[in-house]
Structure 1
């Protein structure tokens, strides 16, 4: 058989060393290549260097070139000997020791040309990303650039940081509101762990596959699982599967993840804005760590906005040819932060709106004030500010609970606040009106029977005229409920009775209705004893008679008749709040 290979056979790139190898020899090449890569090298390779392919051979001429694939945006030089690379510090040292002015001049020219190349590269990079939203332009490239979430990323006590320090990525669920950096954190964790393991030649290498629960189906997930197994067999790289909006997966799709997460075929990182306890299967939660991401505080958001201003000013000068830079005071940044409600993406969108609206301002004009920024945002937003509020999520239940408790506590101002927050967030006003009808019976009850008709009237007002006209009807009912005297006598009595009947205590749920208080609409029922012996109360003085209304079986089984007195005449409890006592004394 002829050992000579024809040019028809396909050449493929080795995923480890990037050399071109015949398809039929790739397995044997990988065995040899894997052993060579396991030996410690003088210069460790990163994931980006592996993916960038083989480096160019040494050139005879020392020509400067720009490495567009380098994320650090460094300017590199091809020289005959790699050990002859000079840093800026070495050039400065040579300049001081140079015996002639010609030599010093050449060093200065070299440094200036380096700066020019850097500026050229920066301009090309800005032009390449100029069409992206500011939030995407500003996405951090390194974990040290990530802002916020110090409770899990702190070097002292951050649980997630300790995992990454060991080069390990556990399966996890990142739970937090929009715009806190869930996607960025997942990408940076994968990159940092891979780079750390590459430098130490210890641990696993990782690569990430990103998808969203809104588009991924079971067929796509099975393809990802199969690909992850092959990837590990060939390159020993483990697959990190990032699923955005994972709470949108149904039960079947979530169950499909279980064996692969448990066996380690994939490392799952799920991002969700909803409470995992309600939206995810218990089996999936038990296989993942839950990290709660918090909204960024004022200082953290101001840092992000400052970086955004710096990047926009670079784009103004080098891409859009606008010489007048954007300048915003700290008070303006804090105003934008307040409007963003802790959402970094929303804050950057507003910053970009301000930048676009001020491109035609002259250099001699006064700096922007908070009032100017307020006018810009209002003129570009027809609906004004919408707070972070999901009518079907956790925030919905948390806010209505706070609203109910504020009314129960008699705080009319807090009650109005939560009402306004719900309506501004898009809550269904009929839902709020129904809850106030419940409050009128549960918390005011027998102390003021006029509040229940008022709550029903507020509900009718919303039904008939809707918002925004009915907002004052809701506010009026809200304040009236908060100011009214409270009574839970009826609520407690009803709750006690329901509990006793659920257990059929004293045969309350199964006993026969007494014959004397049954109705007898027919002759047969009257002959059977229905209604026999009933005393018609209005026929007696003040309507008072000696007559039992509870079933006889219940009365016989109940040794203590006070158990059947569900209404005890007490509107409220007997406890005394020690904090209230201290407040009075102070």
Structure 2
């Protein structure tokens, strides 16, 4: 073995093999040769890539087998330099094992065998990857992209933070409590439940000093398909599983708010006794949809809508997976590339739903894949040039989404959930605050989301009396007319009647005099203050339809107002007991004549300054 080989064999004790790139002659690890060839500076175009090696009479396969040498370069002009370079190249595949020196022929044979073995290993791994991609190709993109570890999980740092995240503290201890995961669609409730169980089980197994540590395993079901009989079977199976294997059963129920009261009550004793660990996922407010007894036995974790940056992270991972599939499964198609503006547009139209965003991305990818296949039928050089020039624009994505959608994109709106009440509350407060633009916005958001227009019309009738009241009596008639229009025409023809009424209510002067007076009276009656709820009606203002009642004094002494000038008489209408018990008669003046309050908002004063 020459000095060159001896020096290199003693430099690195690890078993690594290097090889010179057949295109640029730079030395790279053999294991990364294919990756290097993809980004090699000498490999600038596909058409040139195919001609680099054959032009020299060699191929990559023949070079790897040791039958041919590398292409000559400009530095190999002299015989001496050619001899030196040739000698160098013959030993570019270097064995860095701590082995005794061997003859050059045997060394070359060993190197060639190593190259073939490594190449075979790379091809084997590539085949395995292709097999995995083919196996999951039929699944939705959102399912293929599910995180496999907690590190891959995106979002919900308020509960998963290593510093203050309450859920992470449970994982660290290897404990899984019964819990309810409450959040909007597509934020990762199911994925979090799976990863939580997986990570906690691993921690419990590795960190426990018990000879038989407790493990966890998950049973997944949905409230849309699980019945009482199936639940009882799960409970029995969970008991036997723990007795035999010390594995505790985590029962994950998706859409748990769809369970009726009987089904929810069925869970109570088994959660209480620890037969199962319940993880429920819901998009509805647990306070309204779940039994208080069940909520008291579970911890409620609120999952937040993913931010724009978090959604973009999910989309970038999806694009990487799609491009890998495009290359390995569907041929060497041009990689899908989307600008940041396009990504943010997809995030906006998906309204914080990662699953919906991935579905949109899949539509875009399939459409561009079809375009690539169509363009590939022409001249290869022209196709390559057109592919370089063609860039997916924001308008292209808009067209793809519209063409593949059965209907217009609706905003995220749940007619029966919390958002139903939150939106109508926001609409009412915007009208009360005389913000006509915000009022229109919430009206549009409700109608676009599928809200019942009659529900909105009924609320506007209420607003006309509650917030405008006697300041503009005509608006009550307008609100009733808008309701009748919706009844007779329906949407979309009646939408302008709702808009008309909405703007009129927002612009009208406001008065809550009658609203406050009415609430004050009801409050005093509920407390029976000054015997308002129990005092006797004065005899002189009682009705006397019979002679017996007249003889008893009913209606005696009543002054009929229309018989007097301007209808004015001295006559008391409140019960005598109330007048006697009420020290301050002003308390009985429910209508004060004040339409609004007297407070001044300090923020307005700051703005004026």
2:226 aligned residue (216, 234, 248) = 216
2:37 alignment partner in structure 1: none
Partner of 2:199: 192
Tell me the CA shift for residue 201 of structure 1: 5.0
8 Å Cα contact 2:94-2:111 kept in structure 1: no
Name 1:179's counterpart in structure 2.
Answer: 186
Deviation, 1:524, is 4.4
Counterpart of 2:481?
457
Q: Does 1:282 align with 2:292?
A: yes
Structure 2 counterpart of 1:511: 535
Residue 424 of structure 1 corresponds to which residue in structure 2? 448
- 1:146-205 deviation digits (Å, cap 9, x = unpaired): 111111111122111111112111111100000000001111111112223334455521
2:514, 2:478 → 1: CA distance?
19
Q: What do the CA deviations read for 1:525-560 (whole angstroms, capped 9, x no partner)? A: 444433332222222222211111222332233232
Residue 108 of structure 2 is aligned to residue 101 of structure 1:
yes
Superposition deviation, residue 576 in structure 1: 1.9
| Range with greater deviation from structure 2 (197-206 or 377-386) | 197-206
Cα deviation, 1:305-353, whole Å, max 9, x if unaligned, reads 1111122222223223362322211111110000000000100111111
| Residue in structure 2 matching 1:150, options 144, 157, 163 | 157
Superposition pairs for residues 289-368 of structure 1, below 5 Å? 289-321=299-331, 323-361=333-371, 362=375, 364-365=386-387, 366-368=390-392
**Counterpart in the other structure of 1:565:** 589
Deviation digits for residues 215-264 of structure 1 (CA, Å, limit 9, x no counterpart): 22222212111111111111111111101111112222222222222222
SS of aligned partner of 1:161: helix
The answer for the alignment partner of 2:490 in structure 1 is 466
Equivalent residue for 2:396, pick from 367, 372, 380: 372
Q: 1:102: Cα distance to partner? A: 2.6
Equivalent-residue separation in structure 2 for 1:379 and 1:491 (angstroms): 51
Q: How many residues align?
A: 494
Question: Residue 535 of structure 1 aligns with which residue?
Answer: 559
Given that 1:186 and 1:269 are in contact with CA atoms closer than 8 Å, whether structure 2 keeps it comes out as yes
Moved more, 232-241 or 557-566: 557-566
Q: Distance in 2 between the 1:112 and 1:321 partners? A: 21
**CA contact under 8 A between 1:322 and 1:359: conserved in structure 2?**
no
| In 1: Cα distance, 2:603 partner to 2:122 partner | 66
Shift of 1:508: 2.2
In 2, the alpha carbon distance for the partners of 1:245 and 1:187 equals 15
Could you say what secondary structure the match of 1:569 adopts? coil
Partner of 1:32: none
8 Å contact from structure 1 (residues 514, 550) kept in 2:
yes
Please state if 1:243 is matched with 2:260: no
2:333 touches 2:369 (CA, 8 Å); kept in 1?
no
Alignment gaps of 5+ in structure 2: 1-92, 102-106, 376-382
- SS of alignment partner, residue 252 of structure 2: strand
Give yes or no for the alignment of 1:253 onto 2:263: yes
Three-state SS of the structure 1 residue aligned to 2:181 is strand
SS at 2:279 equivalent:
strand
CA distance in structure 2 between the partners assigned to 1:148 and 1:557 by the alignment: 63
Distance 1:161 1:110 in 2: 44
Distance 2:318 2:428 in 1: 41
Within 1, Cα distance between the matches of 2:294 and 2:120? 56
Answer yes or no: is the 8 Å Cα contact 1:95–1:107 preserved in 2: no
Aligned counterparts of 1:105 and 1:435: Cα–Cα separation in 2: 83
Distance (whole Å) between structure 2 residues aligned to residue 309 and residue 145 of structure 1: 15
Q: Are the aligned partners of 1:95 and 1:104 in contact in 2 as well (CA < 8 Å)?
A: no
Give the TM-score, by structure 1 length. Answer: 0.81
Q: Decide whether the 8 Å contact of 1:167 with 1:204 is kept in 2.
A: no
Distance 1:554 1:574 in 2: 30
CA contact (8 A) 1:489 1:572 kept: yes
Residues 204 and 236 in structure 1, CA contact (< 8 A), matched pair in contact too: yes
Q: Is the 8 A contact 1:461 1:470 kept in 2?
A: yes
Distance (Å, rounded) in 2 between the aligned partners of 1:246 and 1:405: 32
Q: Distance in 1 between matches of 2:207 and 2:521?
A: 69
Deviation at 1:522, TM superposition (A): 4.3
Asked whether the equivalents of residues 337 and 347 of structure 1 are also in contact (C-alpha less than 8 Å), the reply is yes
Structure 1 residues 198, 190: closer, same or farther in 2, change over 3 A? same
Q: What SS does structure 2 have at the residue aligned with 1:177?
A: coil
* Runs of at least 5 residues in structure 1 that lack an aligned partner in the other structure: 1-91
Paired residues of 1:207 and 1:238 also in contact (CA < 8 A)? yes
How far 1:96 moved relative to its partner? 7.3
Equivalent residue, structure 2, for 1:162: 169
> What is residue 242 of structure 2 aligned with on the other side?
232
Q: How far apart in 2 are the matches of 1:94 and 1:462? A: 85
SS in 1 for 2:301: strand
Confirm whether residue 263 of structure 1 aligns to residue 287 of structure 2.
no
Distance 2:112 2:344 in 1: 49
Checking the alignment, whether the CA contact within 8 Å between 2:178 and 2:299 is kept in structure 1 is: yes
State the structure with more CA Rg.
2
Q: Displacement, 1:523?
A: 4.3
Summarize deviations over 1:264-318 as a string: whole Å, max 9, x none: 2211111011111111122221221111101111111111111111222222232
TM-score when normalising by structure 2: 0.78
